[in-house]
Structure 1
Amino acid sequence: MSTMTDLDTVLTLLQNKLRRQILERLVREPHYPMQLAEILDVSQQAIVKHLKELERGNFVMKMKVPSEKGGPPRTIYSVQQSISLRIDLGPDLFSCEQRTLPAGGPMRLSNRLPKGVENVVNTISGRKKISVGEGLTHIQQVNEVLEELDRKRDALISLHQHIRSRVSAAVESDFDHYEQRSVVHNLLDAPRTRFDLNAMAQEFQLGKAEMDTLLKVVKQRLERQLGERAGHIVASTSDRDFRYWLGDL
């Protein structure tokens, strides 16, 4: 099994409509390049070109199969990656991430699944085939649960956006310089991730002394914000973890 394709490559590959149409067919069943050319009404040369791009990106794999007419083996393509892309964009909101779908059969997934699909797991576990009618029933049930989860996620994302909007207003009023505001926004974007100070210094084109001064100023202003919120002076040592000044006491 190949390694996971990086996000930039995934977005580049999926931006092409014909490649998306090819993948839409391949997820159903393996296809020959000539089949895809006839179905999508484009040249076989164009299909092969895009299949090679998708293969380089680890989206599809090819294999040789015997010809139905007794000729030389033919090449077919199938999808090999299982991923999920999530893009959230709006004022005070930007998130673009790629997630790998968990491996394993229904029973192995059962402890991660929400309520409402237990009967589906129990019904299909251990079976290699189910009828179309039964499959439609199960798919409809799973889709309803997915829709409910999506509605809840949409509401959470909207709440996240409202929080960031209010924080941005405070950042705008309390931090004078763009670099200071960028430091705070970087903290908010990934509060559990350690800062890459070298990358940040390079982005701002600052030397070590200037970067140290910038961080010191941001710490002091975050300390002042925290004190104003608490209603009293907040004292701490100078070596306190930088993320402390977000107010996560």
Structure 2
Amino acid sequence: MVEFDEAMNILENKARRQILRHLVKEPHYPLQLSELLEISQQAVMKHLKVLENAEFVESERVPSERGGPPKKMYRVNQSFSVRLDLGPNLFRAEHRTMPGGGPMKLSNKLPSELDEVINRLGTRRKLPMAEAIDILAELDRALEKIDESRDAVIALHQQIMHKVTPSVSEHSESYEERIMAREIMNQPRRPLDLDLFSHSLRIQSTDAESMMESLRDQLMRDFAANSGNFVAARDGTPLPWWLIR
């Protein structure tokens, strides 16, 4: 599975996107793609090689219908989503693999309003076209609703980051400290990798550790001030990672 940057590098090419748009529908021969895209077969083969090396597609040799030598046919063999959210106080880049399994296996991850769709599908292996169109229309509506909710959550995330910016500037003495604070807020549930952080900013790891200690002290003071109490908890109580020394 390729990473986000490699996926973006591959997909930035319009011809490759067009090739994939055809291959997701059904397998194609290079000659078919050449005719559909109106580019040379040599160019198509070059793009297919890039896609195959990245495991976006796979090929197999199939017997010729006219009795000639076997021909290579290509099909898409990955299911994933590439997301990029960009704006003031916002940069989220994700490469997510689609979950596998049939309707019943997916049911616990789906919105409750799609329960009826799952019941209609059951274990059926074949659907009439009219029924499939009806179900797909319902799935499109569900996706639009999910996207609208996601957009609203991301917009709220932006607003929180905007509101906290003055506090970050007030308590940070350097650019590196501000960046550390933002890195923590961008991934608040995941401990900051200090080695990776120090490498990205070209600073000593000991300096990053010192900044982390200073920031942790500030966070603990904020935490206590907001609650009006000392920071205390029973053994085994889950705490934010930045409260744990």
Aligned amino acid, residue 90 of structure 1: G
Instruction: Report 1:30-109 matches (<5 A).
Output: 30-109=27-106
1:26 matched residue in structure 2: 23
Q: Relative to structure 1, is the Cα distance of residues 13 and 207 closer, same or farther in structure 2, using a 3 angstrom cutoff? A: closer
Q: Which runs of 5+ in 1 are unaligned?
A: none
Please list the CA deviations of residues 130-176 of structure 1 after superposition, one character each: whole Å capped at 9, or x if unmatched. Answer: 22221111100111111111111111111111111111221022212
Is the contact made by 2:194 and 2:205 (CA closer than 8 Å) also made in structure 1? no
The partner residue of 1:111 within 83, 108, 117 is: 108
Please list the CA deviations of residues 59-80 of structure 1 after superposition, one character each: whole Å capped at 9, or x if unmatched. Answer: 0000011111111111100000
Is the contact made by 2:61 and 2:70 (CA closer than 8 Å) also made in structure 1? yes
How much is the aligned-residue C-alpha RMSD, in angstroms? Answer: 2.1
Structure 1 residue 40, shift from structure 2 partner: 0.9
Q: Which runs of 5+ in 2 are unaligned?
A: 233-238
Please list the CA deviations of residues 153-209 of structure 1 after superposition, one character each: whole Å capped at 9, or x if unmatched. Answer: 111111111111111221022212111111111111212222222222333443354
The partner residue of 1:210 within 191, 194, 207 is: 207
1:133 is the counterpart of 2:130:
yes
Is the contact made by 1:92 and 1:168 (CA closer than 8 Å) also made in structure 2? no
Is the contact made by 2:29 and 2:73 (CA closer than 8 Å) also made in structure 1? yes
Aligned amino acid, residue 221 of structure 1: Q
Structure 1 residue 41, shift from structure 2 partner: 0.7
1:143 matched residue in structure 2: 140
- Alignment TM-score, normalising by the size of structure 1: 0.87
1:10 is the counterpart of 2:7:
yes
Which sits farther off after the overlay, 121-130 or 183-192? 121-130
Aligned amino acid, residue 165 of structure 2: S
> Equivalents in 2 of 1:80, 1:193: separation in Å?
31
Aligned amino acid, residue 41 of structure 2: Q
Structure 1 residue 242, shift from structure 2 partner: 6.2
Secondary structure, in 3 states, of the residue corresponding to 1:23?
helix
Aligned amino acid, residue 117 of structure 1: L
> Equivalents in 1 of 2:12, 2:200: separation in Å?
28
Structure 1 residue 125, shift from structure 2 partner: 3.1
Is the contact made by 2:223 and 2:231 (CA closer than 8 Å) also made in structure 1? no
Instruction: Report 1:218-233 matches (<5 A).
Output: 218-230=215-227
1:243 matched residue in structure 2: 242
> Equivalents in 1 of 2:206, 2:130: separation in Å?
69
> Equivalents in 1 of 2:241, 2:177: separation in Å?
14
> Equivalents in 2 of 1:208, 1:27: separation in Å?
46
Q: How many residues align?
A: 238
Q: Relative to structure 1, is the Cα distance of residues 42 and 176 closer, same or farther in structure 2, using a 3 angstrom cutoff? A: same
Q: Relative to structure 1, is the Cα distance of residues 72 and 95 closer, same or farther in structure 2, using a 3 angstrom cutoff? A: same
Please list the CA deviations of residues 217-241 of structure 1 after superposition, one character each: whole Å capped at 9, or x if unmatched. Answer: 3233334444543457x568xxx98
Is the contact made by 2:103 and 2:121 (CA closer than 8 Å) also made in structure 1? yes
1:166 matched residue in structure 2: 163
Secondary structure, in 3 states, of the residue corresponding to 1:117?
helix
